[in-house]
Each structure stands twice: as structure tokens, then as C-alpha cells.
């Protein structure tokens, strides 16, 4: 029998994150195909109750002790090294999230195992796991295999259905004790998001702007379109980092997750970090000069043109229809 | 402070990317290389910290097309020293890159003191093997934290206060003793603009250093089977015609869905 498949459950403020169930679903698929046991491990302080809902795993483990409420990547990697050795784990899955970033490389070094990042799909072919990772802003995919299926992989959030990792089975958990040195990094406090003028997660209509908006002066054009459509303007990371929109308007991995009725994206390429935040919008219409922009892959309608050619007549067309009523 | 920033070049994804004939890498012939965006922010954060706390900034990069411009730009922005490591490093993985940089420390080319901060971009778009900063910290046995969007330093206690992004705008504040490695996601201010004339002047007045380093031994830790382009046609119905025709079609779609 193959070595175990381990899912490192992810949680924040005593709530399990969706990525945990996404990984469990993917892990279950691989474990079943290989005839390998599926483990989960939850690391933290007072987190044992979280393990109850991880029953899809054959063995549900917790490392629950004081001072682990926000452990550093190095501490988690040290604990996982001990766990992998103790349980005979072949493949370790971690979340490709901001919270877990850093764990993969550190664990890779401690265990002398390879680490694969950005995984969005996996399959088993003749006993070998084939991982598909996305690179270069989601434009390129690559298939990779590990020697003896041994290694560490980070799964991209939103790439695997969380339903596949949920189970009615209530799991009894096993407490695991692994000694670890105290980290030099000390968690001090959470800093809540700045309250913006509007909550973009509650809007029906969002006009998203990306790097294609070119400069701050052009943001006015998007605002004019948003106003006529009764929506608000939001943006991808580069727009926020340039200071053209406040942080409260950011959509994506570090920003808000949005599900508006309309997501009209102006000059947004659709980097994976952005798609993570808007992929469940009801109607997605990107306008972009790059026909290879990944955002077209999940759009309902698309326009492969310059936003500055389309938006002014679009504003007029919307005005005309509103005037008709 | 002694601030060291490692700059990474990546393909410009605005350009068309082509796969090479071996189907395992990008075709580099027409590739346009630019500085990785988080690295540009790491450089900005380094300069901001120099302005706030004093000290020196050293910018270091592997040789790559356009790297000379990037290093001179770093000097024009306020870096005090720039080092280029000559060689063909295309497709190098993060662990090997970290190994090269760690030799700069072991050979004394880059010094580490109790006032040292090493900054990298938090993550690059081609980090298939993970983040450079984490590997580097592991090799140098220094604390590491990534997705950083703000840093302050108490130069008396040699402690940094670091702000890390989670999701939904939530951040965490961490205390990190120096020396340390930080993966910068975004600087506290947008990267500054420097006029081309200032960069040209820099080229005439100061030279970057070049340091020869031996390529590390490569051990295949996984097998890349095949690289391929993502099909982006997906489910989208592409709207065509004149701008007015397309605009009217969008307006019709919005009206049909009750969005007008």
C-alpha cells in the first residue's frame, strides 16, 4: 500500500476555511485511486472541535496546544516534518493561500522532499499522480509528476469543489504530540479591514478595473459607467497597489470575494489571485485587448477590444435605454 | 540598517507566451522580461526603510535580459549598491536561486548583521517550486514571513514589526527579530517613478558590481511532463462588430437580465 496522503487543514479564528474541504476532496480522490490512507491534521490552539467535520479523512489528527493560535510557517513546517515521519506520509497537501504561504518551501527543505506550487488539477495515471499547475498569471499550465508520489503540493483555492471534501461522518480525532522549538516570530494581533465607503461584496453591479485602465485619470471613465449602471468600481491588485482605488475595493486573494449579478471587467487580465475573488459572479463580461487573457476563460460574454473604444459608446447605449423607459 | 533586496525577472505576460519545442519550457526567443511585480515593491519597501531608518540598500539579481536597466533603475531610485550575477539562469527554480544567494553570504560578499533585513518579492508568477524568500530563510537559518505589506523597525531592540495580509482585507501584526527575511507583497507606497534621464545619468556615474558564482548542482526532484497553453475560449460568447454594435449588444444583454 502506498504511503498516506495528508491534508493540512486550514483555519482562521477558529473557523475552517473552504480550502480545507477542497483539499480533502482532492486528497480523497487520490487516496482512493492509490489505495492509500487519507489523513488530516489540524494545528492550533483550542482547535480540536474543528476536527469533527473532517470525517472524510480515514484518520483525523490534531496538534492542539497553547501558543499555537497563529504559528509561524517555520513552526508549522517543523510540526509537519514530525508528523510525516511518524505517520509515513507520502504526499502532503497545503493550501495555496496567503495564510499558508511559506510552509511549503520550509517543509520541503526540512524533509528533503520536492514542493509543487499553484496546483489546479490532479489525476492518477497508472499509479502515478499527475499534478497540473498554472503559471505566468494563469496563461500556461504544466503537468508534473513526483518521484514515488512523494512530496508536498499547494492546491490553488477555488480549483477543487469543496463538496467533495465534506462528509456526514463525525470523526473521532487522534491527538498527536510532536515537540517543536519556540518560534522567533511572535503573532501580536489581527488588524481588521478598513471600512470603506461601500462594501463591494454586497453590490449587485461591479465595474472592475485592471492594469488596462492605464492611469488614475481614466478611473473616472469606469466611475461614470458604474454610476449609470447603479454599481461601484472595484479593482485588481495592481490598481490598488498604485493607489488608484482604496484597499476596500480590492477583489481577489487578499481582497474581497464577490458574487455580483454583473461583473464588467475593464482591462483585467484575470490573474489567478483575482479570479479567486470573482469567479462565482452571475454574469461576467470582460473587455480586454489580449485575446489570451485568462478572464475570458470564465466569462459569459467577452469583448476583445480596447476599453477606451467600447466604454464611451457603452455609456451612451445604456443612457439611451434608460431614457427609453 | 543593512537592507538587501533580491530582484527577480519574469516574462511579461501581456505579451504572447510560446512553448518551446521540448514542451517543457517557454520559448525564450521572443520573451520580454520585466521585473517581477512583488520584487519591484520589495525594492520600493527597501528604499522607504532606508529613508526612514538610514543605512544602505543592496540590490542583487541574476543575469537576465533587461537586468542592466533594472539594476540601474534600482540605483537611481536610491539603492547604494547593485550586484549582477552573470550566467544563463533561465528557468532556474527558487531553491537553486536561494542556494546561489546563500553563497553570497557564506563568501562574505553580502554581510548579515543584527540590523539586516533581506527582502524578496513574496511570490513570482513562475514560482512552481515555491517562494524564494522562504528557501533563503531556511538556508540562512533566519526567520521568514511572507505576504508582507508593511514593516517598521525598532533599531534599538533590533525588532521588526511586520504586517502580513490574510484575505478579505484582514491583516496580522507579527514581531520578528532581526536579521530576518521578508517576502514583500506590496510596499507601503506605490513604487516610485524615476525619469529615464536620471537612469541614464546613473549609468554614466556608477557601475553595478558583477560577481561570478558557480551554478549549484541540479538534482531533479520532480519530472515536468508537459507545458501547454491554457485554452481561454471557455464558455464566453465573444461579441464582435463596431464599438457601437458591441456596446448596443452589451446593453441588450444587461436589459434582458434586468440589470438596466
Q: Which residues does chain A have within 8 Å of residue B247's beta carbon, measured at their own beta carbons?
A: 310, 313-314, 316-317
- Residues spanned by the domain of B27: 2-210
pLDDT tens per residue, range A64-91: 999 898 999 999 999 999 999 999 999 9
Which of A12, A144, A290 is opposite residue B14, by nearest beta carbon? A290
Q: How many CB atoms lie within 10 A of CB B196?
A: 10
What is the pLDDT, as a whole number, of residue B222? 78
Domain ranges of chain A: 4-175, 200-324
List the CATH number of the domain containing B121: 3.40.50.620
Interchain CB distance below 8 Å, B222 and A300: no
CATH 3.40.50.9100 fits A200-324, yes or no: no
Angle at A241 between CA A136 and CA B203, to 5 degrees: 80
Question: Could you say which DSSP state residue A189 is in?
Answer: E
Nearest residue in chain A measured CA to CA from B231: A297
* B94 interface with A at CB cutoff 8 Å: yes
Nearest-neighbour CA in chain B from A241: distance (Å): 6
**pLDDT (mean) for B169-176:** 94
Cis peptide, bond prior to residue B179, ω within 30 of zero: yes
Which of B244, B246, B259 is opposite residue A262, by nearest beta carbon? B259
What is the pLDDT, as a whole number, of residue A325? 59
What is the pLDDT, as a whole number, of residue B210? 95
pLDDT tens per residue, range B234-251: 678 999 999 999 999 999
* Host H or E run for residue A82: helix A73-87
User: Does B228 fall in a domain?
Assistant: no
- Burial zone of B106 (CB within 10 Å; 0-12 exposed, 13-18 middle, 19+ buried): exposed
pLDDT tens per residue, range B115-155: 999 999 999 999 999 999 999 999 999 999 999 999 999 99
Q: Which CATH number fits domain A4-175: 3.10.620.30, 3.20.20.220, 3.40.50.10470, 3.40.50.620?
A: 3.40.50.620
**pLDDT range class, residue B232, cuts 50, 70, 90:** low
**pLDDT range class, residue B158, cuts 50, 70, 90:** very high
Interchain CB distance below 8 Å, B129 and A105: yes
Query: How many C-alpha atoms does B140 have within 13 Å on its Cβ side?
Result: 31
Q: Show the low-confidence residues of chain A (pLDDT under 70).
A: 1, 324-325
Q: Say if A4-175 and A200-324 have the same CATH topology.
A: yes
Q: What is the CA radius of gyration of chain B?
A: 21
Contact pairs from chain A to chain B, CB under 8 Å: 291
Which of B225, B227, B247 is opposite residue A314, by nearest beta carbon? B247
Give how many domains chain B has, as a whole number.
1
Question: Could you say which DSSP state residue A108 is in?
Answer: H
- Which of B127, B157, B168 should we substitute to test contact with A (largest number of A Cβ atoms within 10 Å)? B168
Inter-CA distances, B108 with A32, B111, B142, Å = 51, 6, 17
Which of B16, B123, B172 is opposite residue A190, by nearest beta carbon? B172
User: Does B230 fall in a domain?
Assistant: no
Query: How many C-alpha atoms does A56 have within 13 Å on its Cβ side?
Result: 23
Interchain CB distance below 8 Å, B16 and A269: no
User: Does B89 fall in a domain?
Assistant: yes
Amino acid at each position: 500500500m502506498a504511503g498516506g496522503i495528508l491534508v493540512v487543514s486550514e483555519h482562521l479564528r477558529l473557523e475552517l476555511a473552504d480550502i480545507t474541504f477542497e483539499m480533502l476532496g482532492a486528497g480523497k480522490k487520490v487516496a482512493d485511486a492509490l489505495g492509500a490512507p487519507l489523513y488530516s491534521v489540524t494545528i492550533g490552539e483550542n482547535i480540536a472541535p474543528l476536527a469533527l467535520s473532517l470525517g472524510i479523512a480515514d484518520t483525523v489528527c490534531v496538534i492542539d496546544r497553547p501558543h499555537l493560535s497563529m504559528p509561524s510557517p517555520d513552526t508549522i513546517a517543523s510540526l509537519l516534518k514530525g508528523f510525516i515521519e511518524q505517520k509515513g506520509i507520502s504526499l502532503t497537501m497545503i493550501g495555496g493561500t496567503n495564510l499558508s504561504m511559506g510552509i511549503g518551501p520550509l517543509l520541503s527543505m526540512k524533509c528533503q522532499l520536492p514542493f509543487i506550487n499553484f496546483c489546479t488539477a490532479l489525476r492518477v495515471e497508472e499509479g502515478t499522480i499527475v499534478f497540473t499547475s498554472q503559471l505566468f498569471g494563469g496563461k500556461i499550465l504544466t503537468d508534473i509528476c513526483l518521484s514515488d508520489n512523494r512530496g508536498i503540493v499547494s492546491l490553488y483555492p477555488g480549483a477543487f469543489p469543496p463538496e467533495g471534501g465534506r462528509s456526514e461522518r463525525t470523526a473521532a480525532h487522534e491527538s498527536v504530540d510532536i515537540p517543536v522549538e519556540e518560534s522567533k516570530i511572535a503573532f501580536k494581533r489581527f488588524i481588521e479591514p478598513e471600512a470603506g465607503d461601500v462594501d463591494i461584496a454586497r453590490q449587485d453591479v461591479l465595474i472592475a478595473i485592471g492594469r488596462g485602465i492605464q492611469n488614475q485619470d481614466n478611473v473616472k471613465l469606469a466611475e461614470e459607467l458604474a454610476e449609470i449602471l447603479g454599481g461601484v468600481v472595484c479593482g485588481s491588485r495592481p490598481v490598488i497597489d498604485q493607489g488608484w482605488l482604496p484597499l476596500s475595493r480590492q477583489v481577489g486573494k487578499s481582497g474581497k470575494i464577490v458574487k455580483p449579478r454583473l461583473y464588467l471587467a475593464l482591462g483585467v487580465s484575470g490573474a489567478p489571485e483575482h479570479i479567486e475573488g470573482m469567479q462565482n459572479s452571475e454574469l461576467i463580461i470582460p473587455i480586454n485587448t489580449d485575446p489570451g487573457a485568462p478572464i475570458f476563460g470564465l466569462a459569459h460574454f467577452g469583448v476583445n477590444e480596447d476599453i477606451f473604444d467600447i466604454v464611451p459608446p457603452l455609456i451612451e447605449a445604456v443612457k439611451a435605454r434608460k431614457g427609453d423607459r | 540598517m543593512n537592507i538587501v533586496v533580491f530582484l527577480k525577472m519574469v516574462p511579461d505576460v501581456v505579451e504572447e507566451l510560446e512553448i518551446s519545442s521540448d514542451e517543457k519550457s517557454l520559448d525564450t526567443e521572443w520573451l520580454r522580461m520585466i521585473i517581477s511585480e512583488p520584487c519591484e515593491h520589495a525594492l520600493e519597501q527597501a528604499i522607504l526603510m532606508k529613508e526612514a531608518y538610514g543605512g544602505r540598500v543592496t540590490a542583487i539579481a541574476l543575469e537576465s535580459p533587461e537586468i542592466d536597466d533594472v539594476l540601474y533603475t534600482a540605483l537611481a531610485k536610491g539603492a547604494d549598491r547593485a550586484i549582477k550575477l552573470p550566467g544563463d539562469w533561465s528557468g532556474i527554480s527558487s531553491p537553486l536561486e536561494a542556494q546561489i544567494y546563500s553563497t553570497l553570504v557564506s563568501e562574505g560578499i553580502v554581510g548579515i548583521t543584527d540590523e539586516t533585513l533581506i527582502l524578496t518579492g513574496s511570490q513570482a508568477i513562475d514560482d512552481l517550486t515555491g517562494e524564494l524568500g522562504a528557501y533563503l530563510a531556511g538556508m540562512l537559518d533566519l526567520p521568514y514571513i511572507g505576504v508582507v505589506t508593511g514593516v517598521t523597525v525598532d533599531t534599538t531592540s533590533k525588532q521588526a514589526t511586520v504586517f502580513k495580509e490574510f484575505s478579505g482585507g484582514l491583516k496580522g501584526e507579527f514581531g520578528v527579530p532581526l536579521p530576518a527575511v521578508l517576502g514583500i507583497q506590496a510596499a507601503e507606497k506605490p513604487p516610485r517613478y524615476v525619469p529615464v534621464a536620471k537612469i541614464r545619468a546613473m549609468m554614466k556615474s556608477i557601475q553595478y558590481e558583477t560577481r561570478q558564482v558557480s551554478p549549484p548542482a541540479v538534482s531533479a526532484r520532480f519530472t515536468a511532463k508537459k507545458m501547454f497553453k491554457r485554452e481561454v475560449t471557455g464558455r464566453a460568447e465573444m461579441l464582435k462588430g463596431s464599438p457601437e454594435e458591441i456596446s448596443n449588444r452589451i446593453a441588450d444583454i444587461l436589459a434582458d437580465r434586468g440589470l438596466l
